[in-house]
Structure 1
Amino acid sequence: MNRTELLQHFEERAQAVQTVVHRVADWAEAVRYALELTAHRAGATLAPVGVPKEALSALVEQGASHQVRLLEPPLRNHLEDIHTGLTPADWAIAETGTLVLDSTSEDLRIATMLSEVHVAVLPASRIREESLELGHEMAALQKDGPRYLAFISGASRTADIERVLTIGVHGPQELHVLILEEDAS
């Protein structure tokens, strides 16, 4: 499968599980997206974790103009305050529309699981066709000791015995994936 087909397949599968997918040119565009989304959803806070330093500087500058407060680590001090979590994603699996995140950091786990909206930024080059292709990457991570990996497919959802679907009970109500174009850093 060529790169264009792989991107399209991932987008289709992710959208099938109610994930919003957009392509962005760089982290600056991703920051604008996350701030505008937070403001549009009447959110007051954004928790950036793992965001590159230059993008974080832009986030600080633009946050005030959007009336969005940035939450600083440790996020344990803000458990009930997180509207939007902004994080990088390590890989994606096109076959299932799934994100893979090295969530060893407690702050990353909090930003991705306790926010109302999770915005994940994924380099296009890190999309794999199927999960078996991640074997080498995951083995390399283990060299530094045990890791906590999260596989995320869409927003949090659950259904009770009567098959009533509920969104956002055990995690974010919305998942947005921003795909960094190939030439982006």
Structure 2
Amino acid sequence: MVSLGALWLPILLSAVLVFILSSVIHMVLGYHNRDYGQLSNEDAVRAAIRSGNPTPRQYIIPYAVDPKQMDSPEMKRKFAEGPVGVLFLKPPGPQGMGPTLVRWFVFVLVVSFFVAYIASHALPASSDYLRVFQIVGAVAFLAYAAGELPAAIWMGKPWSVACKEAFDGLLYGLATAGVFGWLWPR
């Protein structure tokens, strides 16, 4: 078993590398640019939502209080008419990137920490690069990518978007695996 203290450098460097890689993916490569579409009546939709004075949270349309309501003629009509979807609302006001980037970095740091925790219990200090790469890569891939597919299954996220985000998770997992394999204590 390897102590977590011995893994502080791969934890930190893998988080920094994933952060940089995600910046390159989103700001340079731009293959996520078309993941979101604009409603043709955006202003009317915004006004309708604003008129209900909703609090920032997650909403589902149409909404049923309990599963029994799903069988009612009214709910069946609402589902048939559409739209059917999930809506996430943030607080109104400027949406600065700074706090979001800080939260993203904290997230990747936490992922790297738990990847290190699992690897430290699964691998001895004498493990070679490939073995560390395999274990760390699998765990990091699951952490970064596995949650994207249930969003497509349950929330209606387009499969093309979920697959691109899972691909990003694969890249983040490979980057994390490479750093840990390189800096694993021997």
Q: Same fold, TM exceeding 0.5?
A: no
Larger RCO (CA under 8 A, 6+ residues apart): 2
Structure with more helix by fraction: 2
TM-score by length of 2: 0.25
